């Protein structure tokens, strides 16, 4: 590695720029976007290059990623905690940052992403991109006073061999929420959001969606839900469109459609909660999915910053409801 794990965990992250008044709003937005671009790129590089492959086979690196995320989540007005669970005596960690709601704190929105990478991959897009988005949203929300409680959770063990098992980090977390009787109004899974292409036929679809005339350019962000989460899907897409001009597509699908369950949102479906996935569609677009070439140089941080900005404003809007 190019840096020690201690140096990585202790490294600072650029702080957000204060926005001036609306005498020059375009300039302010440009500055904000430039800083978001810089931060996202630095965070993805830290996780995928300096820490690198992080999973049960590389436990020290997985733990280093957890420590890095915990430090990056630490702001005033943000309660940071670890959920510890054990597999064959080894501890694994979900890292949670909570901003408690002001008027309806019992209503909870969970925004989650997994921080482990698949075996033999550095996991830049899958899923350091999702974790970088969480870090930036925590930074932004640390100054907010949402009506509902907002939780940002970094999950361990989304990748095989733990996917869909009792040791999948998001399932451990969702089960605990259900056991405590928590009112999770909606869960948003951020999964692989850094790759976009305007090339023809750069976007593929699973059966039976490939039978329909769909956008064949991988230049949009996708919102996916099961049929029971259609209300959350529609509300979220409407809010994203209101707050961003970035191209978006989405649909509610039966869970039997291939890959619809393929991330942490499905853990919340299994516990009866509404949940959606926000994704660049991963294997259906990204040529480097689950390969050693899943590195930051394959990603489009300019477009990713626009997506993250839109998601952040969407979550802020969702959490304002009374």
* H runs (alpha helix) in 200-292: 230-243, 265-269
Task: Flag whether pLDDT at 12 surpasses 60.
Answer: no
Give 149-185 pLDDT, tens digit per residue. Answer: 999 999 999 999 999 999 999 999 999 999 999 999 9
| Total number of domains constituting the chain | 1
What is the rounded end-to-end Cα distance, in angstroms, of the chain?
48
Residue 12 belongs to some domain of the structure? no
Asked if residue 205 lies in contact with residue 316, where contact means CB atoms within 8 angstroms, the answer is no
Which of left, alpha, beta for 240 (phi over 0: left; psi -120 to 50: alpha)? alpha
Least Cα distance to 239 among 192, 188, 198, 281 occurs for 188
- Whole-number Å distance between alpha carbons of 248 and 259: 19
Tokens of 246: 């970035």
Confidence (pLDDT) at 20 = 39
pTM of the prediction? 0.91
How far from 289 is each of 83, 100, 119, 227, CA to CA, in Å? 29, 36, 12, 27
Residue 267 pLDDT > 60:
yes
Confirm whether 7 is domain-assigned.
no
Three-state secondary structure call for residue 93: strand
For the chain, counts of helices (H) and of strands (E): 8, 8
* DSSP symbol at 124: I
Percent of the chain with pLDDT over 90: 81
In this prediction, residue 257 has a pLDDT band, given cuts at 50, 70 and 90, of: confident
CATH number for position 235? 3.40.630.10
pLDDT band at residue 30 using 50, 70 and 90 as cut-offs: confident
- Residue-wise pLDDT for 33-83, tens only, equals 899 999 999 999 999 999 999 999 999 999 999 999 999 999 989 999 999
DSSP for 297-315, please give it: GGS-HHHHHHHHHHHHHHH
Nearest C-alpha neighbor of 73 from the set 96, 51, 53: 96
Tokens encoding 275: 């949940």
Between CA 82 and CA 103 the distance in angstroms is 26
Nearest to 263 by CA among 150, 170, 178, 173: 170
Q: Which residue's structure tokens are 């005498």?
A: 23
User: Residue 114: which domain range?
Assistant: 25-318
Residue 17 lies in a domain: no
Residue 20: inside a domain? no
| Token duo for residue 267 | 């853990």
Tell how strand 221-225 and strand 183-191 pair up.
unpaired
């Amino acid at each position: 590695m190019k840096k020690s794990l201690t140096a990585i965990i202790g490294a600072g992250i650029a702080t957000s720029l204060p926005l001036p008044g609306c005498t020059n709003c375009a300039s302010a937005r440009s500055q904000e976007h430039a800083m978001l671009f810089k931060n996202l790129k630095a965070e993805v590089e830290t996780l995928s290059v300096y820490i690198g492959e992080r999973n049960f086979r590389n436990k020290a690196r997985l733990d280093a990623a957890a420590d890095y995320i915990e430090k990056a989540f630490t702001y005033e007005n943000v309660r940071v905690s670890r959920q510890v669970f054990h597999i064959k005596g080894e501890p694994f960690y979900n890292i949670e940052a909570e901003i408690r709601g002001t008027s309806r704190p019992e209503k909870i929105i969970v925004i989650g992403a997994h921080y482990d990478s698949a075996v033999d991959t550095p996991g830049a897009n899958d899923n350091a991109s999702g974790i970088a988005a969480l870090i930036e949203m925590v930074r932004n929300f640390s100054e907010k006073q949402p009506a509902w409680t907002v939780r940002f959770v970094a999950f361990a063990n989304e990748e095989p061999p733990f996917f869909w098992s009792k040791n999948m980090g998001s399932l451990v977390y969702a089960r605990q929420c259900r056991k405590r009787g928590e009112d999770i109004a909606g869960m948003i899974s951020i999964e692989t959001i850094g790759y976009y292409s305007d090339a023809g036929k750069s976007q593929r679809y699973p059966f039976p969606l490939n039978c329909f005339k769909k956008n064949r350019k991988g230049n949009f962000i996708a919102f996916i839900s099961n049929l029971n989460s259609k209300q959350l899907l529609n509300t979220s897409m409407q809010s994203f469109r209101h707050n961003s001009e970035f191209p978006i597509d989405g649909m509610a699908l039966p869970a039997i459609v291939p890959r619809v369950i393929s991330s942490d949102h499905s853990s919340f479906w299994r516990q009866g909660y509404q949940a959606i996935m926000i994704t660049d569609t991963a294997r259906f677009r990204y040529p480097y999915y689950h390969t050693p070439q899943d590195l930051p140089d394959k990603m489009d941080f300019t477009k990713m910053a626009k997506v993250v900005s839109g998601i952040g404003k969407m979550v802020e809007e969702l959490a304002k409801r009374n």
